[in-house]
Amino acid sequence: MAKSTRRKSGGESGGGHEGAGMMRWLLTYADMITLLLALFVVLFAMSTINVRKFEALEMGLKQTFDPNPGVLTGAAKLLKEPQLTQANANNMSSRVKSVAHNVQNQAGATNTVTTPGTLQLSAIAQRLQQALAKAGLANQGITVTTEKRGVVVKVLDDQVFYGTDHASLNTVGMRMVDVVGSVLQGFNNNVVVEGYADSQPITGGPYPSNYALSAMRAINVLERLVHHDSIPEARLSAQAFGSTHPAAPNTTPQNMALNRRVDIVILNSGQGRS
């Protein structure tokens, strides 16, 4: 009798464990279903915008965080009229493209940017060319070029001095210097007068060397600028290079003529005399 009772109890005990396991499975299943439902609700809420709720959110944000009301004004209108946001996006895109285009143009124009100094040199060169042409000296062996250091007026000595191994200015030379001086009166740039000579040795005359000859030619031009054209002495200096720094190899008479010259250099604005 006791033996059958134990078996019955054992059977009831096994049924209780099975029922508890089923209950735990149902609870887990119910939790999963609940989570899935919550997920779908969130996804649905994210896929649609309630304008009224958005207005409430807008008001709450303004009251809580924004010390300057009105920043979010019109947000609901933008939601109701999505074409406005598209227009704003297109407008912003066009502005970004315009800014990028301007930056690219400015970057590409870096090498061609002009400074006040270069603009002034261009004006001086133009004035000199016009003045020399007006005086009929444009074709008298005089050239005007613009270099990094300034405007250079190159004058062949065969045109402005009385002759080879002479340093005195002839009539054409004095006119040329006076024309340059008249232009220099309108500017404050410093001026360097450079004298050059060819490599042919000097065998006689008042000048013992090409250095002395080139120095005296530069000094005579400087003296003309000071005493006849009223250019302040503080702006002027003279340099002698002799036969050094030739413009062309001293191999032919034509090249030697190019090396016998005087350069009047109008220095870049702010550059001191060398």
CA distance 210 to 203: 10
pLDDT of residue 141: 79
Residue, of 85 and 203, whose pLDDT is higher: 203
Most confident stretch, 9-23, 50-64, 246-260: 246-260
92, 135, 156, 158 from 140: Cα distances, Å: 62, 11, 9, 10
> Between the CA of residue 221 and those of 5, 22, 61, 74, 172, what are the distances in Å?
143, 119, 82, 78, 12
Sign, CA torsion 127/130/135/137: positive
Residue 194 pLDDT: 96
Q: What percent of the chain has pLDDT over 70?
A: 63
| pLDDT tens sequence across 151-180 | 999 988 777 886 667 788 888 889 999 999
* Phi/psi at 39 (5° precision): -65, -45
**Please, are residues 247 and 261 in contact by the beta-carbon 8 Å criterion?**
yes
Average pLDDT score over residue span 168-193: 93
Residue 89 half-sphere exposure, CB side, CA atoms within 13 Å?
6
Mean pLDDT (whole number) for 65-81: 51
Residue 118 confidence class, pLDDT cut points 50, 70, 90: confident
State which H helix or E strand residue 92 sits in: helix 82-108
Question: What whole-number distance in Å separates Cα of residue 203 and Cα of residue 137?
Answer: 33
Mean pLDDT over each residue of the chain, to the nearest integer: 77
Could you give the 3-state DSSP secondary structure of residue 253? helix
- Residue 68 has a pLDDT of 55
The more confident residue out of 102 and 1 is 102
176 compared with 86, residue with greater pLDDT: 176
Q: For position 270, what pLDDT does the model report?
A: 63
Residue 9 confidence (pLDDT): 46
Q: What mean pLDDT is predicted for residues 211-236? A: 94
Phi-psi bin for 115: left (phi > 0), alpha (psi -120 to 50), beta? beta
The 10s digit of each residue's pLDDT in 8-37 is 444 444 556 666 767 777 888 888 888 888
pLDDT at 61: 62
Q: Is 128 in contact with 153 (CB distance < 8 Å)?
A: yes
The domain limits of the chain are: 2-110, 116-267
Strand order from edge to edge, sheet including 150-156: 142-146, 150-156, 261-267, 191-195, 236-240
Q: Is 11 exposed, middle or buried (0-12, 13-18, 19+ CB in 10 A)?
A: exposed
User: Among residues 234, 241, 190, 235, which one has the least CA distance to residue 215?
Assistant: 241
pTM over the 0.85 mark: no
Separation of CA 270 from chain center? 21
Domain spanning 116-267: CATH 3.30.1330.60: yes
Number of other CB atoms surrounding residue 212 within 10 Å? 18
Q: What is the mean pLDDT of residues 66-77?
A: 51
Confidence grade of residue 99 (pLDDT, cut at 50, 70, 90): very low
